[in-house]
Every structure is written in C-alpha cells, then in structure tokens.
Amino acid sequence: MDYFIELFFGGLTRGSIYALIALGYTMVYGIIGLINFAHGEIYMIGAFTSFIVATVLSIYGFPLLAIVVIAGLAAAVWSSAYGYTVEKLAYRPLRNAPRLAPLISAIGMSIFLQNYVLLAQTSDFLPFPALIPEFEFMEPVAHIVGSSDLTILVTTAFVMLGLTFLIKFTKIGKAMRATAQDKTMAVLVGINVDRVISATFVIGSALAAIGGMLIASHIGQINFYIGFIAGIKAFTAAVLGGIGSIPGAVLGSLVLGLTESFATGYVSSDYEDVFAFSLLVLILIFKPSGLLGKAETKKV
Amino acid sequence: MFPVKELKRSALISLWFAFLTFPIMVIKVDPIERTVNWRWDNLFFVALGSFVVSILAKVYLIRKERRAGLKKVSKAVTEPFVQRILREPRFLYPLSIAVLIFAISFPFFFSTYQTNIMTTALMYVVLGLGLNIVVGVAGLLDLGYVAFYAVGAYSYALLNLHFNMGFWAVLPIGGLFAAFLGILLGFPVLRLRGDYLAIVTLGFGEIIRLILENWNEFSKGPSGIANIPRPGFFGMEMNFDSGITYIYYIVVALVVFTIFVVNRLQSSRLGRAWLALREDEIACQAMGIDKTKTKLIAFSLGAFWAGLVGVIFAAKTTFVNPASFTFLESAIILSIVVLGGMGSIVGVIFGALILILMPEYLRALSEYRMLAFGGILVVMMVFKPDGIISNVRRSYQFKKHSSTAE
C-alpha cells in the first residue's frame, strides 16, 4: 500500500509540473491556435535562470528563503521576457500567414533557443542547488512523500487558484476569454488583441518558469535539453485534456502524470514515454476532442 | 534619411536585448568550484548586435514599403520569375535536362566527400517529396514522419541480419512495410482534426523510436545494428569510393522516379481529390469523394517513400540506431516542405538542398550551425511565409493576351 501511495504522490507531483507547462500551451492555443513549440524552451530558460541566480546568491551567502524568492522571481521575469520577445519576433509577423508557417517558425525558435543556451552556458548536466528544505513535520511520512513533492503540490495549487482568479475576475482575464471566443468580435468591442496575446504569452511563460524551477530543484540537475521532452509531454497533456481548455490542461496533466508513475512503478521504467503516448492515442481515438474539450461542430 | 526617432527605438531594442540575455549570456557559474564568472563583454556584443540588426531591419522595411507603394498597380499582374519558367515547357524541359546532366556528372567533378553529402541531400529531397504528399497536397499535418523512415531502415537491417536478404530485395519490402504501417496508423487518426492529428503522429513517431530503443531482443536497443552491407551490383565487388558513387546514382534514380510519380499523381484524379480535401473537407465529401480512402492513400503513399529512403539510409551508413530517428528529424523534413513551398515539387527540392547542404557547409561555423539553422527558419518564415517557391496551380489561360488581360 505504501508503494501505491508513493507512486500516487509521485504521479501527482509529476502531473502538477506538466500542468504548469501545459497551461501555457493551452492558453496560447486557445487564443491564436498555434502549437507554441518554443514553450518547452521557455520552461528550460526559466529553470536555467533560477539555477544561475540561486547559485550566485548562495555563493554570496544569502539565506535560503531569500534565495528561493529571488530566484523564483528572476525565473518568472526573464521567462516572461523571453516569451514576450519570441511572440513579437517570431509569431506576430505571421498572424495572417498560412497555417503551418508559425509552426515552422516555432520549431526554428525552439532549435535556436536550445542552442543559444547550449553555447552561452554548457552542454553538461549541472547540479541544481536544493532550494526546498526537508520539513520537520514531514518526517514520519518522508519515506513515502518527500518535502519537495509537498511543496510542488502546494505551490501548483496556489498558482492554479491565482490563475483561475485572474481569468475569471480580472479585466485582462475577461479580455483573454473574449479573444479566445472570437477575435474579430473582441476587436469590435474595443479589446487590444495584440496586448491580450502578449499577456497570454507572459502569463504562460511565468507559469512554465515556476514549473521549471520546482522540477529542477526536485530532480537536482538541469541541462539545456530538458525543455524538449517536458514540452512534448506537457503538450500531450494539454491535448489529452482538450486543448484550449484550462481545467482540461490540469486534468490531462494529472492523468498523464499518474499514468506514467503507475506504469513505471508496476510495469517497466523503460517504456515510460510509450505509455504516455499510447494513452494519448487511445483517448483521442475514442474522444477526439480530448477529455474536457468541446466537440466542435463545423457549420457550413 | 534615417530619422532620429528610429535610432532611439533601436537603442531601446538593444537595451531590451541586453536585459533579456543578461543572466544567460553574462553570468556563468561553476556550481562545484563555487565561482562566478561575469562575462560583461558579451553584454556589449549583444547590445551592439541587436542595435545594428534592428536598424537594418527597419531600413529593409522602409524600402519594402516604398517599393510596394511604387509597384502597387503592376504587382498584381507580374508573376514571379521562377514561376514563369516553371509554367513554360520550353524553358522547363531544357532546364531539367541540364540539371539532370549536372546531377549525373557530379561524382566525376567532385570528391567522394562531396558526393556523400549530396547523396544525403537527395535522400532528403525524396523524404520531402513524400511528406509533401501528406502535408503539402493532402493537408494532413504529420509530425511523426520519421517513424516510417525508421521502419524502412530497420527492415533492411533486420531482414539482412536474420534472413541475409539483399538490398534490392528489401527495397520494395521496406517501402511496403512503411506503407502498411501508414495505413495502420491512418485508420485510428483519420477522425482527428488538424492539430490533434499532429500530436498523435508525433506521439506515434516517438513510440516507434522508444520501442526500437528498449526492445533489445528485437532491435538490439540503443547500440543499434552495425555491418549492414552496401547494395550490390550483380555480385560485383566494390571499394569504398565506388560504393558511395553507386549509392549516389541509386538515389538520383530514386529522385527522378519520385518526381515523375509525384508530378503525375498531382494532376491525377487522386491528386485533385487531395487538393480538394486540403481546401475544404466538407465540400469535398459533398462532391462524392471517399474521404477515408483518400486520406489513407495519402498517408500510405507518403510513408512508402520514407520506407524506401530508410532502406537506402541503412545501406549508405551501414549502421542504424534509434538516435537517427528523433523528432528533430521529422521537424527538419517538415521544415523542408514548408520552407520550400507547400505542395510545390521544385520548392521542396530547393528546400531540401538548402536545409541539408547549409549545415554541412556551415561546418566552418561548427557549433553555431544549429543556432543559425533555427534562426534562419524563423527569419525565412517571417519574410517569406509561403516558402521559397510557392506552388503553381494548374490553370488555363489565353497565351496571346496574357500580358494585357486583367
């Protein structure tokens, strides 16, 4: 039973990290219908920024709490800046281009950012400083659920609550929902669509950066290549839940995380990714618009 | 000529990039030695570089606007130069014969190394043309195309290993295996719309690669299969150089064959059905086209070419392992199709030659080449989203009045 609970929490942790990344995919897709392949790279840059800042601060002897806060903020700020810049340079000029052009541009951007970090930093795996302390009250259950698992779960939950609030009750959230529903109509009622799209990229990137910092500190090492596989998994999760739907992205991520965790725990760890993708294929065959996606009926 | 306001803007842009690249370009930490290396000179280069680039981009945009203003009337009528050549048979035929002669004489003038690179580029031409059927003509976004390529390569490697079958016997078998897999994959995913299809094909490509990587008894895992024989020519023994040249000719022949088939297909009933499917599925169905059958044929035909090239790939490198079939490979093939111009055969050929030869000749830039590759993809898409040579739609026109009409 302990093993089951351990796997269950492992899956939840994994799923919440996927969720933080998947939200960026699903929000961008919901608004401009683009698979933002560079999003995984934004996540990687967030992890790298927090790694650099945290290491510098720890060398200069800052207390742990200050390191965590500053590194997290720096990761969010710089990732958002990258997300904003990528959108402006690589996607905005292609707003009215053929459907595949922005996708290729995104793939190019992803290759570019990966190699940029590779050249500016290193291709080695770097040890990430442990930012999350071992809590004392967790001691009795530490062999099943680690402190970092708990921290990730709690942080993710808070971030999700904040995001829900932002989307439901603020002005920019309303504008985002309107733009996602109908871009032309949104322009007609006086919404600055370009600004809304930029805001979407900024929010999505900040979420990915938080995810990047949490997972890097959980696993304990980073590399320029981590963004790729995490990006694909998170995108899978977003599609699984029904792309464009925010609760769908969270649900899809949790389902994906749990599936992977149980599959690796009970079957074989070699085929972890095979299970993830097989699950995706199966769900899409039986429910082509994802778990919570709306089935689109196209009117002629 | 250049307003001060724009200079100010460029200065702001360069400041922004200096801020943006600050943590990653400037700070380099060594977490084990616990030292920080501040590389302030990088900051200066980034700022200067982005300043210059932003000014150049602005100049380009101003010029383009001016030209667009001047040519507003004439632009609608004049066709791009390349397209005019492609349309006229009296230019097209001599040109293609010249290109063919050049291709045939290539190994005589260039070294084995160059021939080898050219072989790779031509293999990508065939891959691009195959994917072009699926993505460019039929409009089905396939991100897992490399899976079929892997199936071709592994069917030669394994059939040779276990049953000692030769290259020529496996070549059609590899193609058919891939085509069969295309149908197998096609069935479940046909109900999906555009982007769902993309992610499922991506997942499928990864599944194939992961199976090859992990199923050691079947595929020998990540270490791959070595010592695959090169193709034979009626039992003739060949040394390394002539072996390379021989494969080169096989690939040239395959390219010619592919171009012929794809070109004929595009103007066939099936090809027109694909185009209709790409433009509007519902209207297409209403016209009595069997949607499922048409899509499946597109999938399996596209896969067929990938299978053929896969067999040649295994024979050329004499070694296969799963690392050759990553998603990046699919992305590169897709970029060839989109960069070249979707649905356009000449475009795809150009796209493949540029994208594959460029990193090879950019080797002087060594570690910067993938960076340049990514950057060029973005820049190309931003400035020419239709691809280098966009497709020429077959149309009828009165020759005599073509200059005055409209």
pLDDT in tens, B217-250: 777 878 888 878 777 766 666 677 777 888 888 8
Question: Quick one: pLDDT at residue A297?
Answer: 59
Question: Quick one: pLDDT at residue B77?
Answer: 46
Question: Quick one: pLDDT at residue B305?
Answer: 92
Compute the C-alpha angle B42/A40/A50, nearest 5°: 50
Q: Is B72 on the interface with A (CB under 8 A)?
A: no
Sort out which chain A residues have CB atoms less than 8 A from B207's CB and list them: 273-274, 277-278
Return the structure tokens found at A212: 């990047």
Give the pLDDT means over successive 10-residue stretches in chain A (300 positions).
Answer: 84 90 88 86 92 88 87 93 92 83 86 89 82 72 76 89 90 90 89 92 92 86 84 86 85 91 82 80 78 65
Residue pair B230/B318 in contact (Cβ under 8 Å)? The answer is yes
Question: Quick one: pLDDT at residue B308?
Answer: 92
Domain boundaries, chain B: 4-75, 81-383
Q: Using the beta-carbon criterion (under 8 Å), do B370 and A102 form an inter-chain contact?
A: no
Return the biggest CA–CA distance within chain A.
65
Low-confidence ranges of chain B (pLDDT < 70): 1-2, 70-88, 193-195, 233-238, 363-366, 391-406
Position B82, amino acid: V
Sort out which chain B residues have CB atoms less than 8 A from A298's CB and list them: 282
Please tell me the distance from the alpha carbon of residue B132 to that of residue B302, in angstroms, as a whole number: 8
Question: Quick one: pLDDT at residue B307?
Answer: 93
**A130-137: long-range pairs with CB below 8 Å, 24+:** A130/A217, A130/A220, A131/A54, A131/A64, A131/A67, A131/A68, A131/A71, A131/A213, A131/A217, A132/A68, A132/A217, A132/A218, A133/A64
Question: Quick one: pLDDT at residue A263?
Answer: 87
Q: Is B394 on the interface with A (CB under 8 A)?
A: no
Please tell me the distance from the alpha carbon of residue A113 to that of residue A44, in angstroms, as a whole number: 9
Question: Quick one: pLDDT at residue B405?
Answer: 44
Just give the CATH number of B81-383: 1.10.3470
Sort out which chain A residues have CB atoms less than 8 A from B203's CB and list them: 236, 276-278, 280-281
Please tell me the distance from the alpha carbon of residue B1 to that of residue A286, in angstroms, as a whole number: 62
User: A-contacting residues of B 225-284, CB under 8 Å?
Assistant: 282-283
Domains of chain A as residue ranges with CATH: 2-286 (1.10.3470)
